[in-house]
């Protein structure tokens, strides 16, 4: 099992955001779906320890998250946030940043191409790109770490329909080519059905449906090209 959560509760600020959530996310492609305020982004942040739960336990591939080296965990389980947050500098500098932290050099061109950007984006200033392009650089930046798991927080929320379709194609392609496990957070149940093998639905911090078991959730195969 990729992730197992047992009676996990979490707060943000002083607000209870997750309440005794228990669920399993298998290897492959999973989706956490829910409306705004359902706790889905907070749940994603718990999976690579950008935050810790106030109660309960989380295991990653059978090992308790708290026992793992947090920096290694974040390189292995890479999170791409909802909104782009790039460093000042070129696209290449942004893509190379993560690997450089552990003294590793990276080929920027292939990482960009994996994320659906042409290699000649490398020299462009990150701040001057469109939001959609920045979001792809965020994805390339995470892929440059050569992670085993990608955590994606609403990766298409800032994009128009055409750009969204391209990102979805990229994600399907990534999974096929790299064998990555993906945990995707979205408010769009249709997107969840297009992309995920397993869907967990959250509402007000509680699981209201999972896999094919929930009353409001259908099990959906990942879309193939």
Mask 87-106, x = binds other proteins (CB under 8 A)? xx--------xx--xx----
Q: Does 57 bind other proteins (CB under 8 A)?
A: no
Mask 64-83, x = binds other proteins (CB under 8 A)? ------xxx-xx--xxxxxx
Identify which range of 41-49, 55-63, 129-137, 188-196 contacts other proteins by CB under 8 A.
Answer: 41-49
Query: Contacts with other proteins: how many residues (CB under 8 A)?
Result: 43
In the complex, minimum distance from the CB of residue 135 to other proteins, in angstroms, rounded to a whole number: 12
In the complex, minimum distance from the CB of residue 224 to other proteins, in angstroms, rounded to a whole number: 29
In the complex, minimum distance from the CB of residue 223 to other proteins, in angstroms, rounded to a whole number: 26
For the chain, the DSSP string reads --EEEEEEEEEETTEEEEEEEEEEE-SSEEEEEE-TTSSHHHHHHHHTTSS--SEEEEEETTEEGGGS-HHHHHHHEEEE-SS--PPSSBHHHHHHHHHHTTT----HHHHHHHTT--GGGTTSBGGGS-HHHHHHHHHHHHHTT--SEEEEESTTTTS-HHHHHHHHHHHHHHHHHH--EEEEEES-HHHHHHH-SEEEEEETTEEEEETTTSTT----PPP--
CA distance 190 to 167: 15
In the complex, minimum distance from the CB of residue 88 to other proteins, in angstroms, rounded to a whole number: 7
Closer residue to other proteins (CB): 125 or 169: 125
Q: Does 201 bind other proteins (CB under 8 A)?
A: no
In the complex, minimum distance from the CB of residue 176 to other proteins, in angstroms, rounded to a whole number: 24
Closer residue to other proteins (CB): 13 or 62: 13
Q: Does 17 bind other proteins (CB under 8 A)?
A: yes
Q: Does 224 bind other proteins (CB under 8 A)?
A: no
């Amino acid at each position: 099992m990729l992730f197992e959560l047992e009676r996990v509760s979490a707060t943000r600020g002083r607000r209870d955001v997750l309440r005794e959530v228990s669920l399993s996310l298998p290897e492959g492609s999973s989706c956490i779906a829910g409306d705004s305020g359902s706790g889905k982004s907070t749940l994603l942040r718990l999976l690579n320890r950008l935050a810790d739960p106030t109660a309960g336990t989380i295991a990653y591939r059978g090992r308790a998250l708290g026992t793992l080296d947090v920096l290694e965990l974040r390189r292995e389980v890479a999170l791409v946030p909802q909104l782009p947050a790039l460093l000042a500098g070129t696209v290449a500098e942004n893509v190379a940043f993560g690997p450089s932290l552990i003294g590793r050099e990276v080929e920027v061109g292939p990482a960009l191409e994996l994320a659906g950007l042409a290699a000649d984006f490398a020299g462009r200033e990150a701040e001057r790109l469109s939001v959609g392009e920045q979001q792809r650089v965020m994805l390339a930046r995470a892929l440059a770490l050569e992670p085993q798991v990608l955590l994606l927080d609403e990766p298409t929320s800032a994009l128009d329909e055409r750009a969204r379709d391209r990102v979805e194609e990229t994600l399907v392609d990534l999974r096929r080519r790299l064998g990555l496990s993906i945990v995707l957070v979205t408010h769009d149940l249709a997107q969840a059905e297009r992309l995920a093998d397993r869907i967990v639905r959250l509402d007000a911090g509680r699981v209201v449906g999972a896999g094919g078991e929930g009353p409001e959730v259908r099990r959906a195969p990942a879309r193939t090209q």
